[in-house]
Amino acid sequence: MEKRTLPERPGWRDEAEKLGFTFADMGGEPYWDETSAYRFTLREIEEDIEAPATELHALCREAVARAIADETWLARLGIPQRHWDLVASSWTRGEPELYGRMDLAYDGSGPAKLLEYNADTPTSLYESASFQWLWFEQQRAAGVLDGDCDQFNSIHEAIVARWTQICADGEDVHFAADPDNPEDYATVETLAWAAREAGLGAHFTALGQIGLTEEGQFADEQSRVIGTLFKLYPWEDMLRDEFAAHLQSSGTRFIEPPWKAVLSNKGILPLLWQMFPGHPNLLPAFFLDDVQEALAGGSPAAAVAAAFEAARETLARGHVTKPIFSREGAGVVINEQGREVARTQDDSYSHHPMIVQALAPLPDLGGFHPVLGAWIVGEACCGLGLREDRSRITHNLSRFKPHFIEG
């Protein structure tokens, strides 16, 4: 893994605008940044990223099964009790997942470490699946990249195939998001584009325009009943929404399914560590309530005492605290050697329960810290996107960087 300076494509901003990639620059800074790109070897992609991410997803499914069978875990994950049956029944019926993105710390040496799993409403999909591939094809055609280079990116093809697996031929799917958020809109349009290619009917509807019929069914702004809904709206908010009482009785099928409320929750990280301690791609993780006193030299909760003692030295060298619900680095605090060294300004999620996770430092490449986004479609890893930032905590304005495979 290395970061390589490359020439930008002439006129790429005009092309981005023409394609509707309106957030290529944000906040006066580039969001899409092709002044350099990350190079991986094929071995690094296949052995260090693709295979481990696919295995991690399988472990995550085991963790979901454990949590759903144990109400203690559903409570710790902050899932409202009145919706436990909705979440559990979606799992026992085998409702299929569509996609997700694992954020990994990786520097080219040693195993990639799972930082968190954005398994419900991950964005940066358009730039990962489409604009990054366009960059690769054009740079290869221009001779900037060798003809035998490749890119780990079959995201679009995998989503098309997944739609054919999880929906009936010609099925109508509503896609709901905030139309005033360009990144959210681009994400659902990317998914809808793949759905149309899979032969499905795809209809966009603004989240705020969804209402209820007299029969208690969800309907769009044209009063069309919503049978299947892809929603870019996280389950932790949906379960507390004013319409939450109608989620089960509406008859709507939701994508992602309700059991993703378990998997998209950062509380899944302590459960994964409890079930698979020492796994090379996992980091020691605990609920802060269980170990807060122990981090200050006291004793941990009895239930995690042995696991904490095994990880005590690792956590003392460095650990991260973060809320079980949060987005774009909100509420993240990094501690090293007993002192706080970084925190985000956004604490809007910090009133939620917190977890503690051992620190896996992001590498420093030219003053930027990259984090890998391994895309999961269905149950397999199929592509990669990277974000980087001068800050050690990735946030909503962190830059997207393209990648290629050479060697």
Residue 366 one-letter amino acid: G
pLDDT of amino acid 354: 95
> Looking at residues 342-364, what average pLDDT do you find?
91
Cβ-based neighbour number of residue 78 at 10 Å: 17
pLDDT of amino acid 28: 86
Digit-coded pLDDT (tens) for 276-330: 999 999 999 999 999 999 999 999 999 999 999 999 999 999 999 999 997 777 8
Digit-coded pLDDT (tens) for 261-284: 999 999 999 999 999 999 999 999
> Looking at residues 20-26, what average pLDDT do you find?
93
The string over 230-259, giving b where at least 16 C-beta atoms fall within 10 Å of a residue's C-beta and e elsewhere, is bbbbbbbebbeeeeeeebeebebbbbbbbb
Check if the beta carbon of residue 38 is closer than 8 Å to that of residue 2. yes
Whole-angstrom distance, CA of residue 239 vs CA of residue 187: 22
Q: Write the DSSP assignment of 323-361 as a string of letters.
A: ESS-STTTT-EEEETTEEEEE-S--TTTTS-EEEEE--P
Residue 392 one-letter amino acid: R
pLDDT of amino acid 331: 87
For 362, the token pair is 């992001």
Q: Which residues contact 23 (CB under 8 A, 6 or more apart)?
A: 31, 182, 183, 186
Peptide bond into 256 cis (omega under 30): yes
Give the position of tokens 């394609």: 19
Average pLDDT, the chain: 96
Q: For 80-89, 214-223, 325-334, 353-362, which range has the lowest pLDDT when averaged over its residues?
A: 325-334
pLDDT of amino acid 341: 92
The string over 168-185, giving b where at least 16 C-beta atoms fall within 10 Å of a residue's C-beta and e elsewhere, is eeebbbbbbbeeeebbbb
pLDDT higher than threshold 80 for residue 360: yes
Element (H, E) at 90: helix 84-92
- Whose CA is closest to 262, among 65, 109, 26, 19? 65
For 230, the token pair is 């892809």
Model confidence at 78, pLDDT cuts 50, 70, 90, reads very high
> Looking at residues 343-371, what average pLDDT do you find?
92
Digit-coded pLDDT (tens) for 135-180: 999 999 999 999 999 999 999 999 999 999 999 999 999 999 999 9
Digit-coded pLDDT (tens) for 80-117: 999 999 999 999 999 999 999 999 999 999 899 999 99
Whole-angstrom distance, CA of residue 271 vs CA of residue 176: 31
pLDDT of amino acid 349: 80
Please indicate whether residue 114 or residue 26 has the higher confidence score (pLDDT): 114
Cβ-based neighbour number of residue 382 at 10 Å: 24
For 131, the token pair is 């604009």
Enter the pTM of the model. 0.96
Cβ-based neighbour number of residue 17 at 10 Å: 11
Q: For 137-141, 197-201, 343-347, which range has the lowest pLDDT when averaged over its residues?
A: 343-347
Check if the beta carbon of residue 291 is closer than 8 Å to that of residue 309. no
Q: Please name every residue paired with 126 in a beta bridge, in sequence order, or none if there are none.
A: none
pLDDT of amino acid 352: 87
Tell me the backbone φ, ψ of residue 88, rounded to 5 degrees: -65, -40
Give me the numbers of helices (H) and strands (E) for the chain, helices first please. Answer: 14, 21
Model confidence at 41, pLDDT cuts 50, 70, 90, reads very high
Q: Write the DSSP assignment of 7-34 as a string of letters.
A: PPPTTHHHHHHHTT-TTSEETTEESB--
Check if the beta carbon of residue 162 is closer than 8 Å to that of residue 378. yes
Check if the beta carbon of residue 280 is closer than 8 Å to that of residue 345. no
Element (H, E) at 260: helix 260-263
Whole-angstrom distance, CA of residue 139 vs CA of residue 348: 40
Digit-coded pLDDT (tens) for 58-73: 999 999 999 999 999 9
Digit-coded pLDDT (tens) for 231-264: 999 999 999 999 999 999 999 999 999 999 999 9
Whole-angstrom distance, CA of residue 159 vs CA of residue 376: 10
Check if the beta carbon of residue 281 is closer than 8 Å to that of residue 111. yes
Task: Tabulate helix, strand, coil % of the chain (nearest 5).
Answer: 35, 25, 40
pLDDT of amino acid 197: 98
pLDDT higher than threshold 90 for residue 9: yes
| Four-CA torsion 104, 110, 111, 112, nearest 10 degrees | 10
